[in-house]
Chains A and B, each alone.
Chain A
Amino acid sequence: MSFNTHKLLESKKKAILEQWMKNQLADDSLREDLISNEELRSQSEELISALVGNLSMADLTDLDSDEWSPVIEILGGISITRARQGFTPRETGNFVFTLKEALLTVLQAEISDNPQLLFEESMKINRLMDSLSVVTFETFIKGREEVILRQTDEIADISTPVIRVWDGILALPIIGTLDSARTQIVMENLLQEIVETGSSIAILDISGVPAVDSLVAQHLIKTVSATRLMGAECIISGIRPEIAQTVVHLGIDLSNIITKASLASALAYAFKSMRLEVRKANSVQKSNTF
């Protein structure tokens, strides 16, 4: 900056902070439930110090330059934590916008006698703060996206449990659409579990799969083939009437796969092929109540 605005602002750092805090506290969107005033003040102070310290040497137009990285880092850090804490974009944006107002207020008070200069300097500050607020938004969205990505991973993890329903029998309920990535996870988990438990029968339950198209069917067929290679038999259960009709119309041949309408009948089949029998106990135990 030509005129010694940076020096001015540096000397007025305290005043700016006070003004900024005042603006922030007066704002309707202040979230006292999410962040304490002390925390807010320390965040603000940290940012102002970095910002004002930078004004002197850095190129105001090029935010990509190395001089700006500390400021952007601080701002990004604040913005990402806010995204995780559940602030709205407006609230996070206001954090920067109120700083702009504070800077401009102080600037105006200091060079009120020279409108031309005031305008020029204000424009510079304006431009700078606008690009900083864009940075805030970008990092805010990045923070949110990270949350979504994490949740996607979590869903992928929890959605494929392999259950030992009996000694030697595994069940794997599939819920939601089966795409290539999920099939891979399902197959890995299933095959791993077959090795670990030495199971000879695996039941794939597709009650929770909304539609079976040719790709899903292909994935199922692949999973069954892989299971067979491991020496285990694979039963597909949970085929609903509408799914059965759709599969027939599509022309998918599932005839060499054992399929059952419900998990119960698949389990019954599994018991039968393992020569196990489930019977009602025929002698009623004499109880002491009589």
Chain B
Amino acid sequence: MILSLSKDTIEVVKEQDVVFTKNRVKEVAVRIKMGLVNQTRLITAASELLRNMMRYANGGKCTIEVVSSGRTNGIRLTFTDKGPGIPDIAKAMEDGFSTGKSLGLGLPGTKRLVNEFDIRSNVGEGTTVTIIKWANG
């Protein structure tokens, strides 16, 4: 059972919004007393997903939520875009696969950085990625 304690949505359309959003994530992480290593992991994960959103979908929305599972608090980030979508999610989650000219580590790497990772995508409609990082997980 995961409860949402606070919610904040940011529109990401410009390159500067990426840095702004990352700073907001950091603020929230500091507020719930997340450890430095976990903070860095979460921000790096956010950075990967934000970049993906900017690069492949020309921007989208990022929702920052403080969530609670009873014992521990954490942060849930939801990235929603209206981009082209991902035809083969299994392939996209493989290390080293990229349709752009990047390292192909963004999605699989992000999954390793966070506690919970969920990706849904419909071709032509867009992609939604949800990640959760617990404060001491």
Contact = CB atoms under 8 A, between A and B. Distances in A.
Interface of A: 177, 179, 210-215, 217-218, 241-243, 245-246, 249-252
Nearest to A221: B103
Given A211-B40, A251-B112, 8 more contacts: A214-B48, A215-B102, A241-B37, A242-B39, A249-B112, A250-B109, A251-B95, A251-B109
A211 B22 contact: yes
Interface in B60-112: 95, 102-103, 105-106, 108-110, 112
A246 B38 CA distance: 9
Nearest to B113: A249
What secondary structure prevails in chain B residues at the interface with A? helix
Contacts of A241: 37
A218 B102 contact: yes
Interface string B35-46: 011011101100
Residue from the set B39, B47, B106, B112 with the largest chain A CB neighbour count within 10 Å: B47
B103 A218 contact: yes
A245 B38 CA distance: 10
A44 B47 CA distance: 51
B27 to A, nearest CB: 13
16 contacts: A177-B19, A179-B15, A210-B26, A213-B48, A214-B48, A214-B103, A214-B109, A242-B36, A242-B37, A242-B39, A245-B41, A246-B41, A249-B112, A250-B110, A251-B105, A251-B109
Contact of A250 (B19, B43, B44): B44
Interface of B: 15, 19, 22, 26, 36-37, 39-41, 43-44, 47-48, 51, 95, 102-103, 105-106, 108-110, 112-113
A214 B112 contact: no
A242 B26 CA distance: 14
Given A212-B44, A241-B37, A251-B95, A246 B19 contact: no
B109 A211 contact: no
A217 B37 contact: no
Nearest to B15: A179
B121 to A, nearest CB: 19
A250 B113 contact: yes
Nearest to A215: B51
A20 to B, nearest CB: 40
A210 B43 contact: yes
A213 B95 contact: no
Given A246-B40, A250-B109, A252-B109, A217 B47 contact: no
Contacts of B108: 251
Taking each of B22, B26, B102, B105, which has the highest tally of chain A beta carbons within 10 Å of its own beta carbon? B105
Contact of A217 (B22, B43, B103, B112): B103
Contacts of A177: 19, 22
A246 B44 contact: yes
B37 A213 contact: no
Nearest to A179: B15
A177 B113 CA distance: 19
A250 B112 contact: yes
Nearest to A210: B43
B86 to A, nearest CB: 17
A211 B95 CA distance: 20
Contacts of B41: 242, 245-246, 249
A102 to B, nearest CB: 41
